[in-house]
């Protein structure tokens, strides 16, 4: 694939509201950050990565899209607005596309409405379309008055990373001159209790790669990039996708689909495994995911490349996880990280000795100038994607 420039990411997350804060907290945190919450029903508190409240509704002319998912996106829209308006002037609104990923959309809005109805309270202004998966991209397109193609990818935890790969394909095909890409996923009772029902929710802070790991913590975030053909900067240079369809929720036990996605990403970037300087793991903290991902990485590059999972700090942000971790990788490659540090793997317990031998990133590891980072995202149904980011020197 042709490489494309990624603008500085606009983000809204539990770990920071700008890229510098996100990078600083990921590199500087040595203890758990997420906190338990009793807001999601069930019989116990859930450890979640919860972003700040957003009480202000969307402007009246956009009220038909109003939900927390889109309010988080609206914050990000404000931060990229000047760049988007300049691109509209340069290319026209019909040449700017929007491709976003989500898995929750406006589901929380319906949960709140249903609770009001059951309590006999006045019901808020609600339309089922607010929880339709496609609303994220349509909202952003309307917010910027864009006439280019706008669509949402919803493939569970690979959604936003796939949206970024889709954005690159739109530029490859000449269907757009710039693409707003990324995603948004907000916390809601449905997903928290759903993962608990699957026995995939950790009783404590999630602890990827440890012997004691017992599942995920869910987080929330919104991230927007603007992808263009402009030279220089930090670029998406490779993307690889696969679908092993091993099981509706469990990954392929040997990570064959994960390995195929990583190899395809390298091939699309004309790189070899030895050219990688860091791998940001999908690293959910479930026993099956960590085992298969480490096995796939060992086959790909042995124990040469430092790896780590940052979900123990952000939570697993589901549909937007791939974009949030791409944003972190962008920050690691940028001037936000002058010492070129890597996120060390935080182990709240003993490393699982049954995992394949991979090299866990430590506080001593550093990126070389013009480093290359691969970031993994894997999802239900065997939907796999790997992205490669590079800083053009």
Closest CA to 189 of 127, 298, 128, 108: 108
Point out the least confidently predicted range of 29-43, 100-114, 156-170: 29-43
Q: Which of 77, 181, 301, 316 is the catalytic position?
A: 316
Query: In the predicted model, is pLDDT for residue 126 greater than 80?
Result: no
| pLDDT number for residue 280 | 98
pLDDT at 41 over 90: no
Mean pLDDT of the chain: 95
Lowest average pLDDT, out of 10-24, 215-229, 240-254, goes to 240-254
- Spell 270-291 as b/e; 16+ CB within 10 A means b: ebebeebbbbbbbbbbbbbbbb
Active-site residue (options: 282, 294, 301, 329): 282
- The whole-number pLDDT of residue 348 equals 87
- pLDDT tens for each residue of 298-324: 999 999 999 999 999 999 999 999 999
pLDDT, average across residues 7-20: 97
Q: What is the pLDDT of residue 299?
A: 98
Can you give the pLDDT at residue 32? 72
Report how far residue 244's alpha carbon sits from residue 236's, in angstroms, rounded to the nearest whole number: 24
pLDDT at 110 over 90: no
Annotation marks residue 282 as catalytic:
yes
Q: What per-residue confidence (pLDDT) applies to 257? A: 96
Q: Average pLDDT, stretch 365-381?
A: 95
Give the closest residue to 355 by CA, choosing from 278, 285, 279: 285
Return the residue matching tokens 């600083």: 24
Q: Residues 6 or more apart from 86 whose CB is under 8 A from it?
A: none
Question: Taking 90 as the threshold, does the pLDDT of residue 47 lie above it?
Answer: yes
What pLDDT, on a 0 to 100 scale, did the predictor assign at position 297? 98
Q: Dihedrals φ, ψ of 116, to 5°?
A: -65, -45
Specify the pLDDT at position 315. 95
User: And the tokens for 177?
Assistant: 């001159």
Tell me the mean pLDDT in the region 236-248: 93
pLDDT at 123 > cutoff 80: no
What pLDDT score was predicted for residue 250?
84
| pTM for the whole structure | 0.96
Statement: residue 119 has pLDDT above 90: no
4-391: CATH topology is Peroxisomal Thiolase; Chain A, domain 1 (3.40.47)
Instruction: Out of 67, 76, 77, 157, pick the active-site residue.
Output: 157
Measured CA distances, 379 to 118, 160, 299, 335 (Å): 34, 11, 21, 32
C-alpha to C-alpha distances, 159 to 142, 253, 324, nearest whole angstrom: 21, 22, 11
Q: Which residues contact 116 (CB under 8 A, 6 or more apart)?
A: 122, 123, 124
> Is 91 a residue of the active site?
no
The confidence score (pLDDT) of residue 43 equals 73
Compute the distance between CA of residue 205 and CA of residue 215 in angstroms, rounded to an integer: 9
């Amino acid at each position: 694939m042709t490489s494309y420039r990624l603008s500085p990411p606009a983000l809204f997350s539990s770990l920071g509201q700008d890229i510098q804060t996100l990078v600083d907290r990921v590199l500087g945190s040595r203890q758990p950050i997420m906190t338990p919450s009793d807001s999601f029903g069930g019989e116990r508190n859930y450890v979640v990565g919860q972003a700040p409240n957003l009480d202000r509704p969307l402007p009246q002319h956009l009220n038909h899209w109003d939900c927390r998912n889109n309010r988080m996106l609206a914050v990000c829209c404000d931060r990229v607005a000047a760049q988007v308006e300049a691109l509209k002037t340069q290319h026209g609104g019909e040449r700017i596309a929007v491709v976003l990923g989500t898995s929750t959309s406006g589901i929380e809005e319906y949960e709140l409405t249903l609770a009001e109805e059951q309590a006999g309270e006045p019901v808020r202004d609600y339309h089922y379309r607010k929880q339709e998966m496609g609303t994220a991209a349509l909202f952003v397109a309307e917010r910027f008055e864009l006439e280019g193609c706008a669509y949402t990818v919803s493939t569970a935890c690979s959604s936003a990373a796939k949206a970024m790969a889709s954005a690159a394909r739109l530029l490859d095909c000449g269907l757009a001159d710039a693409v707003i890409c990324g995603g948004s996923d907000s916390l809601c009772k449905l997903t928290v209790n759903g993962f608990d029902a699957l026995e995939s929710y950790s009783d404590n802070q999630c602890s990827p790669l440890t012997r004691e790991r017992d599942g995920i913590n869910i987080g929330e975030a919104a991230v927007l990039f603007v992808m263009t053909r402009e030279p220089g900067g930090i670029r998406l240079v490779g993307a690889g996708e696969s679908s092993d369809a091993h099981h509706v929720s469990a990954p392929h036990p040997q990570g064959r689909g994960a390995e195929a996605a990583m190899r395809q990403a390298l091939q699309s970037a004309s790189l070899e495994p030895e050219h990688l300087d860091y791998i940001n793991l999908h690293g959910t903290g479930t026993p099956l995911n960590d085992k298969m991902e480490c096995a796939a990485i060992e086959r790909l590059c042995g124990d040469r490349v430092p790896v780590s999972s940052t979900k123990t700090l952000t939570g697993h942000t589901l549909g937007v996880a791939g974009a949030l971790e791409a944003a972190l990788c962008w920050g690691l490659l940028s001037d936000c990280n002058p010492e070129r540090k890597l996120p060390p793997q935080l182990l709240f317990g003993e490393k699982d000795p049954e995992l394949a031998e991979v090299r866990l990133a430590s506080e001593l590891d550093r990126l070389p100038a013009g480093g290359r980072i691969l970031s993994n995202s894997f999802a239900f149904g065997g939907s796999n994607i790997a992205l490669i980011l590079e800083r053009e020197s």
